[in-house]
Amino acid sequence: MANIDSCTGVPAETVRSVFLCFAKDKCKTLSFDALVKICSDFYTEQEILSAKELIECSLSDRMLKRRGPDSCKSTVEDIIRACLNPNVALPTFYAVDIARLPPVSAAHCDMSAVLQELQSHRSEVREIGSLHQEVDRL
């Protein structure tokens, strides 16, 4: 039987949060400042505060309650720091509404994945070229 999380009521290893799904995944490839800017510009205050509550379930201490004009940005910074902290065991977050995943520019993409895709396409083009030569011979 799955271990049920008391904060969310779902299995402890998976939690639904589009913001945390994006932040946890992109903290591996984006710089801290770029990720904070993207998240604080794209997500609503309610989404950020909801994510903060979910993160607090995995922390031993509560996060600071931020106030003032930059409170959302500061809260996003705290959340991303928690995602980057190797001592914090976070569950796997998933997104259902992929429209709520912000677009990331080409400057922020994972270039190794792009290069792998390019290699795959080059290989396919070579295969098609060799098939074309075979067909010509027939």
CA dihedral of 78, 84, 85, 88, whole degrees rounded to 10? 90
Q: Round the average pLDDT of the chain to a whole number and report it.
A: 84
> From CA 123, how far away is CA 138, in angstroms rounded?
23
Of 56, 46, 45, the C-alpha closest to 15 is 56
Q: Are 15 and 2 in contact (CB under 8 A)?
A: no
Runs of H (alpha helix) within 43-110: 45-56, 71-84
Rounded mean pLDDT, 75-93? 90
pLDDT at residue 2 is higher than 60: no
Q: Is residue 22 over pLDDT 90?
A: yes
3-state DSSP: the chain helix, strand, coil percent, rounded to 5? 55, 5, 35
| pLDDT for the residue numbered 60 | 77
Give the per-residue pLDDT at 127: 92
Q: Across the chain, where does the E strand assignment appear?
A: 14-16, 92-94
- Answer yes or no: is pLDDT of 131 > 70: yes
Q: Using one digit for the tens of pLDDT, what is the confidence trace for 28-76?
A: 888 899 899 999 999 999 999 999 998 888 787 888 888 888 888 999 9
CB 8 within 8 A of CB 17: no
Q: Is the pLDDT of residue 106 over 50?
A: yes
Q: If you average pLDDT over residues 117-134, what whole number do you get? A: 90
